Every structure is written in C-alpha cells, then in structure tokens.
Amino acid sequence: DVKVTQSSRYLVKRTGEKVFLECVQDMDHENMFWYRQDPGLGLRLIYFSYDVKMKEKGDIPEGYSVSREKKERFSLILESASTNQTSMYLCASSSARGRGKNEQYFGPGTRLTVT
Amino acid sequence: GDSVTQMEGPVTLSEEAFLTINCTYTATGYPSLFWYVQYPGEGLQLLLKATKADDKGSNKGFEATYRKETTSFHLEKGSVQVSDSAVYFCALSSRAQKLVFGQGTRLTINP
C-alpha cells in the first residue's frame, strides 16, 4: 500500500522559532509537494520538487523554504514562525510518468499552531 | 491562470438522498480532473479521476463526467450514506503536474 508519512500530527511552536516539517514517501515518486490548508481557501501550494536537490516556488512561498536531499524525503522549513502560519500542512507525492495524468498521494497532515 | 470553482457549502442531506456537487474549471490545454475526499482528521484521498473529455470516473458509488464543452466535472451519487460525510475537493492537473484545487465542499449526511 502506498504511503506518505509526516513527522508530526500536531505541533505547537512559539513565534520566532525555526520549525521543520518532515515528509517521507515510499513509492519512489519523483514529485513531492507541500500545501497548506485553511478553511474557505482550499489547498494552496507552497513549494514543490520534481527531483532531488530541485525545488520550485508555488503560490505562497513567502516565509517558507524546503529541502530535498534524498528522493524519498521533502522537508518544509519555517525560518521564523509567525502566528499567520498557524494552519494544516499537507505533503503529497506523485509519479512523473504520464505527465499531469497521475494523482497525488497525500500524507495525514500536520496541524501547526504558532503562539 | 488555471482555476477551479466549486459549489459552496456546507451541504446537508438526509441518508439515501441524491448528491450533486458542482465543479467548473478554467484551464489552458487539456487538464486531467480529480475529486479528492478528506474524512475528519485525515489527509486527502483520491476518490476518482478523468484524464480526457467525456471520460467518466467512478468509485464507491460516486461518478463524475469530464465535460469539455461546459468545462465541468460535477460529482454525483445516487444514494448517500452517513459515512460519506466529509470534505470534497475538485482539482485539475496540467502538464506541469501541479494540482489546482477548489475551495472544498463540506458534506454532512444525517441519518
């Protein structure tokens, strides 16, 4: 069974802290994605990666960075957490074969609260 | 740019009622279309998909048909159950392999 795992289900951090969210997939997928989910706004793409060491900005990259040192792992970094980054964060992966036709597989999400 | 517009929720129905959740899209080229479902406390799961015009995706009694002429991909189910209560997202994927999501529709089914 395909699997995307995220390091924490719930996380509480203080304003100004550096926060790391980890995502691991076991499907040998080339593509990995980070989204944030907020009520009424759906899912918004923060960053994505088509390959190891590659990263591309999504729609809302400000205040975030990412790291992809290994194919199976994609990390989201909040350099200095702020209260407006309180949200649900979802990681996803997909195969690059069949460009655009393949579904993305999602992790269970990390609910981050910044106080 | 590409966009997806979904029927606003929340939607509340009685068990065994007929369900329609409307979804329309704007995109260049020929996107693939998806419906995802999110049960409480979980991530998104793929419900169904269609990759070309007139394709019908189906799963667990849900259906949606890719209508290019009306740029729509409405989700339907003939008889809903309490266990269908969830948030439903319509999405499209272009050749860039990114998903663009609608805002989600919260569905509650009462027994």
pLDDT of B7: 85
CB contact under 8 A, B32 and A109: no
Task: Please tell me whether the peptide bond between B10 and the residue prior to it is cis, using omega within 30 degrees of 0.
Answer: yes
pLDDT of B75: 98
CB contact under 8 A, B44 and A31: no
On chain A, the residues whose CB falls within 8 A of the CB of B34 are 103
pLDDT of A100: 63
Using DSSP, state whether A5 is helix, strand or coil. strand
Tell me the pairing of strands B11-14 and B105-110: parallel
The verdict on B88 touching A (C-beta cutoff 8 Å) is no
On chain A, the residues whose CB falls within 8 A of the CB of B102 are 42
CB contact under 8 A, B97 and A41: no
CB contact under 8 A, B97 and A102: yes
**pLDDT (tens place) for every residue of chain B, 111 residues total:** 889 999 888 999 999 999 999 999 999 888 999 999 999 888 999 999 999 999 999 999 999 999 999 999 999 999 999 999 999 999 999 767 889 999 999 999 999
**pLDDT (tens place) for every residue of chain A, 115 residues total:** 669 999 999 999 999 999 999 999 999 999 999 999 998 888 999 999 999 989 999 999 999 999 999 999 999 999 999 999 999 999 999 988 766 677 899 999 999 999 9
pLDDT of A96: 81
| Sign of the CA dihedral with A48 first, then A57, A89, and A98 last | negative
Are B49 and B32 in contact, with CB atoms under 8 Å apart?
yes
pLDDT of A98: 65
| Torsion on CA atoms A57, A9, A69, A34, rounded to nearest 10 | -20
**What is the greatest pairwise CA distance in chain B?**
43
pLDDT of A103: 86
